[in-house]
Amino acid sequence: MSADPKALYQEVILDHNKKPRNYGTLEHASHHADGLNPLCGDHIHVTLNLEGDALQAIAFHGESCAICKASASMMTMAVKGKSRNEAEQLIHAFVDMATGRTSPGATVNAGPPLPAMARLSVFSGIRDLPMRVKCAILPWHTLQAALDSQASTSTEAQNDPMHTPMGDA
């Protein structure tokens, strides 16, 4: 283990755990999905409104650890108001960072860094905790499932497009 895992539990993550933003359920959501990590029982429900190409509103709720809840909370802030394409870019950038495939701030296809990733880089230390990577990426998974109009997703699903063997991290 290269980094101090304690460093992960810094103020911003603890703050989002205590006071999660966009917490709840959108009543007339155009898209929604349930995300489950059967290994630890984390459970996240994401609802969102896609108007045309724009992600107008998003909310989440669920039962999860601090890493998962803070990740979900910061995710909703990062993608709200973005286009579907921008949201999907962020999903990939976040997963790549959390699994250690890229350094913080980098983007897919080596494009210019996504500004929203700067704030999310507080999660970069998760790559050193292979057992916890899935806690951080579950909300992003679930967002992707909602955008794809899948009702549910699981970190252990065989056909999961974002399935990430833990050995990667």
Partner 1 sequence: MTASDTTTVATPTASNTTPVLNVQRVRADFPILSLQVGGKPLVYLDNAASSQMPTPVIQRLHHYQTHEHANIHRAVHYLSETATAAYEAARRTVQHFIHAREEREIIFTSGTTESINLVMHGWGRKFIAAGDEIIISVLEHHSNIVPWHMLCAEKGATLKVVPINDAGELQLDAYAALFSERTRLVSLGHVSNALGSINPVKQMVAMAHAQGVPVLLDGAQAVPHLQVDVQDLDCDFYAFSGHKLCGPTGIGVLYGRAALLEEMQPFKGGGDMIHTVTLEKSTYAPIPNKFEAGTPPIAAAIGLAAAIDYLQGLGMDAIAAHEHALLQYATAQLGAMPGVRLIGTAREKAAVLSFTLQGIHPHDVGTLLSTEGIAVRTGHHCAQPLMQRLGVPATARASFAFYNTLTDVDALVAGIRSVQKVFA
Q: In the complex, which residues of this chain contact partner 1 (CB under 8 A)?
A: 1, 4-6, 8-9, 14, 39-43, 63-67, 129, 132, 135
Give the Cα separation of 96 and 104 in Å (integer): 9
CB 47 → partner 1: shortest distance, Å? Answer: 21
CB 9 → partner 1: shortest distance, Å? Answer: 5
Please say which residue, 66 or 108, places its beta carbon nearer to partner 1.
Answer: 66
Residue type, 103: S
Measured CA to CA in angstroms, residue 156 lies from 81, 97, 145, 153 at distances of 30, 20, 14, 9
Phi-psi region of 122 (alpha: psi -120 to 50; beta: other; left: phi over 0): alpha
Please say which residue, 1 or 110, places its beta carbon nearer to partner 1.
Answer: 1
CB 1 → partner 1: shortest distance, Å? Answer: 7
Q: Apex CA 53: angle with CA 77 and CA 124, to 5°?
A: 35
Please say which residue, 72 or 87, places its beta carbon nearer to partner 1.
Answer: 72
Please say which residue, 8 or 72, places its beta carbon nearer to partner 1.
Answer: 8
- The encoded tokens of residue 123 equal 């999660």
CB 5 → partner 1: shortest distance, Å? Answer: 5
Residue with token string 């989002």? 16
